[in-house]
Structure 1
Amino acid sequence: MRKVILTCENISKRFGSIQALNKVSFELYKGEVLGLVGDNAAGKSTLLKIIAGYYRPDEGEIYLDGERVEFNSPLEARLKGVEMIYQDLMLAPNLGVVDNIFLGREVKRAAFLLDRRKMRERATEILSMLGGKDIPLTSKVFNLSGGQQQIVAIGRVFAVYR
């Protein structure tokens, strides 16, 4: 039996007089790839920003693994395993691969000491999982191809989840 991991029920959102979303409902199943297709200003980004905690819906409910959730911020969503990756990858080009993966998510040994060994080990695991095991950990991001940069950006999502 297929497992539903995300349910959106009757999600609506207005920005002043503009109806961005009107009772959008769908289910996402584990292992499924779901495409959102629509014209410019159709509400695709608005829907994703609601799911990721950037906006609150005016109406409707969101369920993760069957549990109703209400996110007041992207951090709350991230702590539940929901994160958004933008077309602009928001990487720091002059930093290395490991530093980009853990930027804002650093692993610490003590209050202010980074555990660089653990960060390198985890970065290696993450890159291998995403098909980027050939990406040198010591490379500056600006030296990577566009596809490799995408892998690093996606890897940031996994930096805090095991």
Structure 2
Amino acid sequence: MTWLPHITVATIVEDNGRFLMVEELKAGRAVLNQPAGHLDPNETLIDAAIRETLEETGWDVEATAVVGIYLYTAPSNGVTYQRVCFAAKTVKHHPDHQLDDGIVGAKWLTRDELLTQRDHWRSELIIRCIDDYLSGKLFSLELIRPSL
């Protein structure tokens, strides 16, 4: 059996204690996640995070730091994901931007509001990434090395 982990990115975007979240459909159920998605061929991790945030929320963002690198195996299907999570700041909102298929919309939620919706989280990585961001232990974007 070949083991192929999925390389993904996610973005923590915070504005006055509220976090930019994505409501999306997963197996016919609405779930919450950070703006996140898979790395595309010939794309940098930072570019992927910026692209996914725009595609899922309509927000242009600027990556400011690395929050962390996470390994997660989904209990629903056994797929392993390596997530590189970035902190970012908003640059410009495009309210008429066509969001990706399966995206219901973007929401700004506080950590406390997220905790009341635990049954709707896509994964436990949501709160782990937010808590790591809130701890202030962020890493320079220089941690991410471009390919040669």
Task: Bin the TM-score by the shorter chain.
Answer: under 0.3
- Return the TM-score normalized by structure 1: 0.23
- Return the TM-score normalized by structure 2: 0.24
Structure with higher RCO (Cα < 8 A, 6+ apart) = 2
| Bigger share in helix | 1
| Bigger share in strand | 2
Q: Which has the larger radius of gyration?
A: 1
